[in-house]
């Protein structure tokens, strides 16, 4: 008899453990995440990012010169974070970034290298560019970093903007 009670108790314990998870069907029905657009559904502790600066002005740059600025950030949250993706607005900007996981209290960086070739004019053309940084496991999931450079070309040169028919003096596109 004791043996039967023992087996019955073990069976009841096993069956009750199967239903104790916090999984709900609403989680499946309301899930809009895709591989291209993941959604941070982490319900545990999160990290967070705080950038030292998000906007930088290079000032006057000679046409053809490459200039660089490093944006630094600190993980101010309670869990590790990582950079999931970095996208530059156009091909004239090359981003480099921290690929390692950034622990709470530690720092990471995103470096922007801007190639000013054919982006200037004799009086200077203001170039405004951006880099979008996407984070994983962070309260702040996306940060847009911006920079400006007034690109000056020698007298008599023709800028890419002028070659494409624009004459407004700004160069905020590609």
In a domain, 34, yes or no: no
Position 35 in a domain? no
Section 164-171 average pLDDT:
52
Distance CA 65, CA 166 (A): 22
Position 8 in a domain: no
Q: What pTM was computed for the model?
A: 0.68
CB 104 within 8 A of CB 137: no
CB atoms within 10 A of CB 54: 15
Q: For 136-165, what is each residue's pLDDT tens digit?
A: 999 999 999 999 999 999 876 655 555 555
**Least confident span in 122-126, 132-136, 165-169:** 165-169
CATH number at residue 74: 2.60.40.10
Predicted local distance difference test score (pLDDT) of residue 155: 78
């Amino acid at each position: 008899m004791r043996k039967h009670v023992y087996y019955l108790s073990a069976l009841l314990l096993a069956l009750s453990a199967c239903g104790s998870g916090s999984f709900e069907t609403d989680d499946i029905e309301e899930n809009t995440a895709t591989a291209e657009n993941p959604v941070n559904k982490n319900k545990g502790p999160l990290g967070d990012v705080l950038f030292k600066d998000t906007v930088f002005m290079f000032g006057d740059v000679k046409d053809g010169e490459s200039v660089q600025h490093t944006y630094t950030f600190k993980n101010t949250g309670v869990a590790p974070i990582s950079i999931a993706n970095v996208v530059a607005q156009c091909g004239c900007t090359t981003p480099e970034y921290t690929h390692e996981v950034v622990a709470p209290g530690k720092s990471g960086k995103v470096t922007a290298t801007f190639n000013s070739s054919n982006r200037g004019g004799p009086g200077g053309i203001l170039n405004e560019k951006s880099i979008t940084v996407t984070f994983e496991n962070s309260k702040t999931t996306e940060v847009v970093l911006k920079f400006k450079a007034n690109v000056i070309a020698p007298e008599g040169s023709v800028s890419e903007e002028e070659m494409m028919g624009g004459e407004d003096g700004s160069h905020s596109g590609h």
